[in-house]
Structure formats: structure tokens, C-alpha cells
Structure 1
Amino acid sequence: MTGPRSWVPVAVTMFGIGWGANQFVSLLVAYRQSAGFGVVTVDGLVGVYAVGLVPALLVLGPVSDRYGRSPVLKVAAVVSLLATVVLMLGGLPALFAGRFLAGLASGAAFAAGSAWVKELSSPPYDTTSPDGTGARRAAMALTAGFGLGPVVAGLVAQWAPAPLVLCYVPHLLVMAAVLVPLWRTPETVDAGHEGGSVLRRMRVTSVRLPRFRRLVAPVAPWVFGGATVSIAVLPGLVASSVTGYEVAFNALVAGVTLGTGFAVQPLGRRLAATDTRRGAGVGALAVTAGLLLAALAAATTSPWAVLAAAVVLGAGYGLCLVAGLVETQRLAPPHELAGLTAVFYALTYLGFAAPVLLAALSAVAPYPVLLLVLAALAAVTALATRRPDPV
């Protein structure tokens, strides 16, 4: 596919890989109930995804800058499909292997795919879209996949027979549908044009730019920091109030969080159109407000307060993601586009540590207090985005 819509198969592939990456989130309660997994085991299944993702991001982003977007994303799509097949086998070894493969697929896809969408949304492929369109398209594709994956998987796991097998079938269908269009998408990187080894390209020099260090890097962890609190922490704190519907409620919270994140991204692009500090600052303020609501939800164990927090934290997720991705793609030279995008995404995944840190610190202080401290840190980040650029 060529022309102004040639970005669509790439974005849909990112949607599918995002679906596969996040479908497991709403199944944590189901695995605890059916397989008797403890907190340490479940945290390990969450963490092994990052073990696969971060190295794949940092290596395969520069690989795609050197050898092309197409081979990296095609392999990622196949690995994402394979990861779900492995997860369907059940059993703890298969679950660890499937989650690791899902991390590899995500790391391969997010940087290379975001760069590919950006390039296909720019001349000569697309001569009409304004600056920042590619970043918004990539962010919306990922967020839609992140949001629908856990919702569909969670609803199937709540009510379908053989729930921990059938819940994965929708992702298989999505990935099967994207493979043929993806194989017809034009490559945007001339592998022979820019020389240099992959090891040299892994030294992404643009991370030293003051704007990246002072704006993008501080905001990036809040992309997933607030969202994972909403999805992975808050439903467990109110489980006693939704007895019998824990899996469905977890899916609902995930859908509300990431659905809101999807809905606010056009606003995020408008805020970032002239100065990404505006989008980043508003996003960090939304995370701050959402964490304050999360503290209220933890104190009252109210499902309604959890849903309110999910809306605001989802808005913070979407705004921070778009602002960070737009600024990253503005700063990156063409030969480091995927490499710098990979660094940005790696920083966003630091936010996945928030639930683990909160669980560890809950022996010292109650969740409402810990969430208030987290809100204060987000507020400091929001203030930091207002600092003027160095002269």
C-alpha cells in the first residue's frame, strides 16, 4: 500500500501488538483465583514482560534505523502472535515464556513502528498532514490496543467457558488480519544510505539534548506510572466491594483508563502543537489529580472513586504520551528517529515499577499515604515542565 494512507497497516499492527501486550493485565485476578498464584508469582509474570521489552527496544530501535522498519515490525508481529499461542498452553513455564515473548514483540514494535508511522505520515508519502500527526497516530494506535486488549480478554475470562484459553482467541484473530496488509507496506529507510554499525547507532547522541533531558525524560515515567496504578493497584484495593465480578471490574477499569487516554490524544496534539511543554505540563497535572483521587479511593474502598481516578489518570497517560512522543520525534535526527523513540519508551516503562514499589512500601505506610506522596512527586514534575529552555 502506498500513498497518504500507507501508515494504516503499520498503525493497525501496533494496535494488535499493544493488544497482545496488555491483554494479560485484566487476567491477573483470574490466574490468582484459578491457579492459586501468589503475589510474588503474579508480579514476576508482570515483570518478565519488561525483561523482554526494554532490551528489545534499545537494540531493535537502532537496528531499524540501520536496516529498515519493515523487517523489525514484521518479525514483531509474528512473535506477538506466537506469544499468545504460548500463553494459551497454560502452566507457569508457558506463562513466563509467553509474557517474555510479548515483551520482545512490544520492544521491537514500539520504536520501529512509531518511527515508521511518523515517516509514512510525512512527505513524500503524506503531504497534507500537519507536524505531530505521525506521533499522534502511533500513540492512538498503541493506546487503542492497550485499552481493548484487557477489556475483551477480561470480559471473556469473566463469563466464557475455558476462560483462560478463549480469552486469547480475539488477539489471534486481530494479528492474523494485519499480516497481509503489513507485508505490502513500503519501506521508508534506505538501508544502504546511512552506514555505521548497529553498536554505534545504539549510542543515541540526541539523548544529551537539554530539551530531552529536562522535559521528555522527567515526564516519561508518568505515562505508565499513573496508568498502572489505576489498572494494577486500585481494583485490588476495592475487591471486597465487587465480589464475584473482580475480573470484569478489573477489565472495566483498564478500559476506562486507556479509553480516556485514547480520547484525549487529539487534544494532546493540539496542546503540543506550538510547545510540548504545555501538553506535558497539563498531562503531569492530570496525573497529580488522578493520584489524589486514587488516594481517596484507597481510603474509602469505593469502586466509584476508582472509576473517577481511572478517568483522570487515563487523561494524564494520554497527554504525557503524546507530548513526549511529539517532542522526541521533533528532536531526533532522521538517523536516530527509532533510537531516540526507543529511549523514550524505555523511560515510560519505568512507570511499571510503581505498583511493585507501592506494594513493598505498604508495610511501612498505608496506600492512601503512599498515593499522596506519589501525587506530590507528579506535581513536582508538572512544575519542572515550566522551566524555560537553557540559553
Structure 2
Amino acid sequence: MPVERLLPDRESEDLLALAIELAREELKPHAAAYEEAERFPREQFRTLGKSGLLGLPYPERWGGGEVPYEVYLQVLEEVAAAWMSIGVGLSVHTMSCFALAHHGTDGQRDRWLPAMLEGELLGAYALSEPHAGSDAASLSTRATLDGDAYVVNGTKAWITHGGQADFYTTMVRTGPDGISCLLVDGKTPGLAAAAPERKMGLTGSTTTQMIFTGARVDADRLIGAEGTGLRIALSSLDSGRLGIASCAVGLAQAALDEAVAYAKGRSQFGKPIIEFQGLEFLLADMAAAVDSARATYLDAARRRDRGLPFRRQASIAKLVATDAAMKVTTDAVQVLGGAGYTRDFPVERYLREAKVPQIFEGTNQIQRMVIARDLKSVRLP
């Protein structure tokens, strides 16, 4: 069902209309087949790039759309509603561009950012490691400066677009100065992808370990100063969590739409099953969860757009939206009954896809820690 949205201007309305049309015509018809075949949708990402949707929140100077985050996230929601793997991929790509866009020099931006924002280069974000997930500060991948290049050794884990990306925004340990950020070319000798993870959902989105074995990365690919990588990573995640919240809402909305359509068309005891109070209440709760989750990410995005602190609100949005998606997709299967448990309908795929957003970009347990720490820091009047 169409979502009624309050957008800031006509230009934003036109942009969202373009995204809805593209999602309906170019993405949704292919989602089930690609997911079943575990096929990476690279051409669809190129289509997003040509349509101007891969760089929406970044400056026009480098090929971005320079739109408010609240508009970008609503576009992202529509993409995720059509195809969750693409939505998550768009969110990850946007987060992968964050370090360069916000912390690179103008020379670095001029060199690499236009191709990223226009879809020629697809990005990945390499922070986690096999033994450093939630505890990002304990990562062990090391970069040692050798002349005009860093020599990188170590393994990154759970990398969305691993083996498919053209660049990896990579956090590494550099000498005594702590953690630093390198923009690594995907074709760097000594960088290799492990076998893709065998996942329960988002099977069209490749996830791998990335292994660095004496990989030489030019020193001019250092983003920001040495030792600032953890700060860059955490600020990237604040915005990335809003992207995942938006994707989760899109997935939940798709599940709700499917459940409502089925309940209207399925009759028992002489009337559509949507007329039975048990299902009416279930669908009402699903709708309330979707709308509430959407409101949380929009609130956080509007704070971000106004330059206000939004870390706690981003964690709340990510927590609320992904938990809502898990519940709404589960209830959508229930509405469809036995049909919902089959692959003849998309809700079983939606349910499988809803689990991982509760885990990546910081587990929901980590989000609770972030929220609680922020509350502890608040000074009472």
C-alpha cells in the first residue's frame, strides 16, 4: 500500500517517485529469483548509480544528490521494501563513502568520490574481524608504513559485498597511534576474498571474509590522520544504523502489505479473513509497529540534518525498527498460515531476511548499551 509521506519539498517528492518506480519496475520483479540463485545483483546497483540514487546524501560537487538524510532514508526504505539485499547494499555503500566524504581531503574526494557516488565503484565497509565484532577497538589487522605504502596483514569478517566491491573502507591498526582508516582498492595484490558465508537470508548479497596478506596500499589512501580511524568508524556507524533502520522498516512494510492483501483475498466461513477480529487486531499491531519504527528513524534523521546530536536516537531507531521487522515478518507468516511457510509467497523470505538487521551495524544488545551510556551522561536539572 502507498505510504503517506511528509517530504520537505516538491523536488524530494519527485525523487521519491523515481525511487518507487525504479523499485517496482527494476528491482522487485527480480528479487525472488536472484535470492534463490544466490546471485549478486551488480547490474541493479549500476542502475541505481545511473539513476543518481547511490550518492543521495553527499555533496553535488562530487556527484551526490545533496539531499537531507530524512529524504535519503525514505528512498532507501522504498528500495528495501522491493528487495532487501539491494536496500542493505545501498546502505552499506553509502556508509562506505562516509569516511572519504567527511574526513578525506579535497584532493582525495576529487580523485575517488565521483566514481563512488555515480555507481562506477561499489563499496564495502571493513571493520569487523573474526575476533573483533562488537569490540571494534580490539581489531588486530595491522598496517605498517613501508616507504610510500602501508603493508596490510590480517583478516576482516562479515564484509557485505566482499569479493564484489571495488573499494573497501578498512580500519587497521597502525603503530602506536591506534586505529586508522585506509581506502583500499578492491584489486590490490595481496587482498583476497574467502568463500562466501552460507546465510539464512540476504542470499543475493555476498558476505565474506577479506584476507590481507602483505597487501600494499598507497599511503595517499589514508583517510584522516593516523589514529583517527576508530572515531571515523563510530561516526560512520551512527549514520549507518539509520540506514539499517530504514531498510528494516521497508522490509516490515512489504510484509504488512503482503499480509493485508492475502487477508483481503482469502475467505473462510463465508467472508474474507480480514473481517475476523483476531486477524484485525494482529494486522493493526503490525501497522502500529511499522509506523512507530518509521517515526523513530525520521526523528533521528531530522536531528542529524539539523546538526544536533543523534547517536542515541540512531541506536533507538535501529533497535526499534529491526525488532519491529522481526515481529512483523513473523506475524505476516502467521496471517498467511500454511501458505506463509511456503516459498510460493515472499513472507517466508522476509522472515529470514529480518533476523540479521538485529545483528549487524552493532547488535541490538550493543544498541541498548549505547542508549544506556548516553542516559548516564545526561545531566539532570
Shorter-chain-normalised TM-score: which range?
Answer: 0.3 to 0.5
More strand by share: 2
Normalized against structure 2, the TM-score is what?
A: 0.33
Higher relative contact order (CA 8 A, sep 6+): 1
- Structure number, greater radius of gyration: 2
